[in-house]
Amino acid sequence: MKKTLLVAAAALAMSTPAAAEKVVVTAERMVDVLTGKVVESPAIFIGDDGRITAIADARTVRWGSDVRHVDLGNRTLLPGFIDMHVHLDNPAEIGGYRSLEFTDSFFTAFAVGSARAMLNAGFTTVRNVGSGDRSDVGVKQAIEVGFAVGPRIVPAGYSIGATGGHCDSTFLPPSLETPQEGVADGPQALRAEVRRQRKYGAEVIKVCATGGVFSRNTEPGQPQLTEEELRAIVEEANQWGLRVAAHAHGAEGIKRAVRAGVDTIEHASLADAEGIRLCAQRSRPCYFSMDIYNTDYTQAEGRRNGVLEDNLRKDREIAQVQRDNFRAAQRAGVRHVFGSDAGVMPHALAGRQFETMVRFGMTPLQAIQSATRVAAEALGREKDVGAIAVGRFGDLVAVSGDPLRDPAVLASVEAVVKGGKLVKAPPAAR
């Protein structure tokens, strides 16, 4: 036993990243998402703990030989992006019943690759809102000890929902039914599920308040939990210091979730004027996370990927309504966070949503802030991520061109720095 432990310890030591070094990152300009201003010739100093220690003018500042210089040339620096709604273990290319062709552990293995894909796309932090086998917890741990490369992950473990609802497994007959974790009915049973998810690594609670698009035998507008049940989930989560994200397409389910104190409303596709007003005016901050790009992918590629026609039908029916409501919510002053639902589409394409958000009512700066400053606030992690600021992690992305004029460049991130380490190098100089 002792020998086994020594071998394991040695393996861990070899896999653990070497101690970080002091770094300075320079580029032509930087977007300060806290002020909305562009800073010319920034020099961003990052300490050996991975946090920013100073921001100076690269034209005048000097540094010693003990500081490694990462020069990103004539590019624009932004804070590492935050995607508030991803499913790392879900391959968009495998839809419908095709998933039954694969063993259970396949999806955790897939999540390792999709985590790297999201990091390469500029997302240095992601919130994984529901996974099978707690793959999000496992991949997070593998990244943290150096066995895998990927973003900072805020895991939810299993989604929580009602029997027969969107978070339940509804594709198989009763003869093949197995106990489904996260499924419960009634306030007390749902409280117990919150405790169980937290016990095994959840850092956010995901609940399904309405039916869904890509489940079977549910309709997006259908409420699936009472307000009493939602309040029990929120109260229990808050007691443990956790925030709550509610999958809620339908108008009534959205209003129940907002009144119950849910922090982020996921999808919010069929929000009515009252639901938008309730979220915009609630004293405790309320956020919409609206995945308004991915329907472009699902309608183009879904059938080829095996997605069932009934699921594609629901996707078609809510697509434009959701985009119209995104615009209405933006005008009403709802706080929007960036949530792509990556996994419904390939993870590498998540950045395409920036341009779509601008097309439906945001300025480029607002779209960027939804994936940085505002998302960090919604996570409760504004001391760590969401801005290029002293004290926060040195998580940076670099793009060519001006993202405040052309948001399309945000889908083509050329370099990524995470905690002061260059994890994606820019292409060779042209």
Q: Which two tokens stand for residue 408?
A: 């399309």
Cα–Cα distance measured from residue 239 to residue 235, given in angstroms and rounded to the nearest whole number: 6
The strand ranges marked E within 58-129 are 68-71, 76-79, 81-86, 123-128
**Per-residue confidence (pLDDT) for residue 14, from 0 to 100:** 39
* Domains annotated on the chain, with CATH: 2-79+386-424 (2.30.40.10), 81-379 (3.20.20.140)
Residue 187 Cα distances to 190, 260, 316, angstroms: 5, 13, 34
- Residue burial 346-369, b: 16+ Cβ < 10 Å; e: rest: bbebbbbbbbbbbebbbebbebbb
What letter would DSSP give residue 329? H
* Cα 149 from chain centroid (whole Å): 16
Q: Number of helices (H) and strands (E), helices first, in the chain? A: 12, 18
Query: Where do we find the tokens 């119209």?
Result: 324
pLDDT tens digits in sequence order for the chain, 430 residues long: 434 443 344 444 434 444 568 999 999 999 999 999 999 999 999 999 999 999 999 999 999 999 999 999 999 999 999 999 999 999 999 999 999 999 999 999 999 999 999 999 999 999 999 999 999 999 999 999 999 999 999 999 999 999 999 989 888 888 887 778 999 999 999 999 999 999 999 999 999 999 999 998 899 999 999 999 999 999 999 999 999 999 999 999 999 999 999 999 999 999 999 999 999 999 999 999 999 999 999 999 999 999 999 999 999 999 999 999 999 999 999 999 999 999 999 999 999 999 999 999 999 999 999 999 999 999 999 999 999 999 999 999 999 999 999 999 999 999 999 999 999 999 974 3
Residue 178 has a pLDDT of 79
> What's the pLDDT at 350?
98
Tokens 């939602």 found at = 230
Q: Provide the token pair at 89.
A: 């273990």
pLDDT digits (tens, 9 = 90+) for 355-390: 999 999 999 999 999 999 999 999 999 999 999 999
Please give the structure tokens belonging to residue 358.
């601008």
Q: What pLDDT sits at residue 4?
A: 40
How many CB atoms within 10 Å of residue 225? 28
Cβ atoms of residues 237 and 246 within 8 Å: no
The H-or-E segment that residue 419 falls in is none
Report the SS3 class of residue 178: coil
Q: Are 156 and 136 in contact (CB under 8 A)?
A: yes
Neighbours of 186 (CB within 10 A): 13
pLDDT of residue 19: 52
> What is the distance of C-alpha 295 from the center of its chain?
17
CB atoms under 10 Å from CB of 311, counted, come to 18
Instruction: Look at residue 429 in the predicted model and tell me its pLDDT.
Output: 46
The residue among 111, 20, 107, 106 whose CA lies nearest residue 67 is 20
